[in-house]
Structure 1
Amino acid sequence: MSDPNAPDETNSLPIALAAVEREIALACRDARRERDTVTLIAVSKTFGAEAIEPVLAAGQKAFGENRVQEAKAKWPALKAAHPEAELHLIGPLQSNKAKEAVALFDAIHSIDRPSICEALAKEIVRQGRAPLLFVQLNTGEEPQKAGVAPADADDFIKRCRDGYGLAISGLMCIPPVDDPPAPHFALTAKIAARNGLTLLSMGMSADFAIAIQFGATHVRVGSAIFGHRPAASPP
């Protein structure tokens, strides 16, 4: 039997979503921006359909996943039931997963190397789909983290456009955990502006209000909505 005193996740998730929405609205007000200039991406990675359904039912449309295979296992059925849902790939993409990524995702936030550009360009033409495309920056130049170094960003964006014909719409960044995020957001916004890019995917549960101050158009919020993530399954 279920525990009658256990929290009702069906109710708690929409409550958490509403709290995040209020924080975004307040941050937009403080930044003198309209609320509709910021897209909330609810990061549903590692959570099953039973956790995602209440958030969809509460009106949330954009969701973020880190892995193509995980998304492929749960999202086709969810999107069939909720055709208004948008799916964003916010984790690393391998070139051999480009076909599946273009078929499933409405936006890809993690373009960071020529092999990905080549694979995506081929599949976008072949499938006739046009997901939103973001170049991922490694603003902290962390060796263990994916992304293009800031000094290489202008040339890489130009290569994406001119060499591969990709319609890059924005930049994504994940600041180092131990750094203040504001300088990283400011740098990302500066690089985007000089390359004529209007979308900025930056800010997570702990710092999205700061990101909005620096022009974020997409904030990626997971734990503030879904809570702590389940333990990873063994490989």
Structure 2
Amino acid sequence: MENTATRLADIHANIARACKQARRKPEDVTLIAVSKTHEAPAIQPLIDAGQRVFGENRVQEAQGKWPALREAHPDIALHLIGQLQSNKAEEAVALFDAIHSLDRPSLLTALARAMDKAGRQVPCFVQVNIGDEAQKGGCPISELPAFLAEARAAAIPLAGLMCIPPADTEAAPFFAYLAKLAADNGVAGGLSMGMSGDYETAVMLGATHVRVGSALFGVRG
């Protein structure tokens, strides 16, 4: 089985190859190592191999393991990539360096209030329900222009758009659509899209942040 450093190097090589095909610079793509459900002993080898950006799904889980890791490695950036409850906004603003799941007015209000209270601006990606799936979070496409206007009015620092395409479908059209939505709505900056199975495709279609878990940590039995 490949060790952690080899898996990390392979993924960087794949990103670089996809960037070359798309005539992009590899340094314009941020690899987010999705460390959800993994404890510190599993995360440490990635840190030792040079990875510095990690993603978590839950505030409470991140609170339990990251303070000690970040004390030892203060250059680590932590991204919240999972759904966020409005009542956890203050804790999220205190802990994370970016939030990828801003998707509804109530959360927008809570985050704006939390950032004002903390005196800390945390960049937020607006999650778009790109496949119009009732079971998934994300701002409906039809409501995106109004929601972006609301976020700008509230002085939320917008990092870009994020999506999770429907499972078991070709992801490329959804990635291309997210890039078009960003352009049509004047959202400069980031496109958070692509996971272990499709991050190379996402990079070729403009992803600036890819969220990779199992390809880095290995698939657990």
User: Scaled by the length of structure 1, what TM-score is found?
Assistant: 0.91
Q: What letter matches 2:158 in structure 1? A: I
Tell me the CA shift for residue 229 of structure 1.
4.6
Tell me the CA shift for residue 59 of structure 1.
0.8
User: Structure 1 residue 148 and structure 2 residue 131: aligned?
Assistant: no
Q: Distance in 1 between matches of 2:38 and 2:5?
A: 15
Q: Distance in 2 between matches of 1:151 and 1:182?
A: 21
* Counterpart residue number, 1:37: 28
Q: Distance in 1 between matches of 2:157 and 2:183?
A: 16
| Number of aligned residues | 220
* Counterpart residue number, 1:62: 53
Q: Distance in 2 between matches of 1:229 and 1:133?
A: 31
Contact 2:123 2:156 in 1 (8 A): no
1:41 is paired with a residue of what secondary structure? strand
Contact 1:154 1:191 in 2 (8 A): no
Alignment match of 2:37 (pick from 13, 28, 46)? 46
* Counterpart residue number, 1:169: 159
Q: What letter matches 2:55 in structure 1? A: G
User: Structure 1 residue 104 and structure 2 residue 87: aligned?
Assistant: no
* Counterpart residue number, 2:172: 182
- Segments of 4+ in structure 1 off by > 4 A? none
1:130 is paired with a residue of what secondary structure? coil
* Counterpart residue number, 2:79: 88
Q: Distance in 2 between matches of 1:219 and 1:200?
A: 9
Tell me the CA shift for residue 149 of structure 1.
1.4
Q: Distance in 1 between matches of 2:220 and 2:78?
A: 19
Q: Distance in 2 between matches of 1:13 and 1:154?
A: 41
Contact 1:38 1:219 in 2 (8 A): yes
Q: What letter matches 2:128 in structure 1? A: L
2:38 is paired with a residue of what secondary structure? coil
Q: What letter matches 1:115 in structure 2? A: S
1:55 is paired with a residue of what secondary structure? helix
Q: What letter matches 1:98 in structure 2? A: A
* Counterpart residue number, 2:120: 129
Q: Distance in 1 between matches of 2:144 and 2:170?
A: 21
Q: What letter matches 1:204 in structure 2? A: M
Q: What letter matches 2:174 in structure 1? A: H
Query: Percent identity at matched positions?
Result: 56
Residues 1-12 of structure 1 aligned to structure 2 (within 5 Å): 12=3
* Counterpart residue number, 1:23: 14
Q: Distance in 2 between matches of 1:49 and 1:155?
A: 41
Tell me the CA shift for residue 118 of structure 1.
0.7
Contact 2:126 2:160 in 1 (8 A): yes
Larger radius of gyration: 1
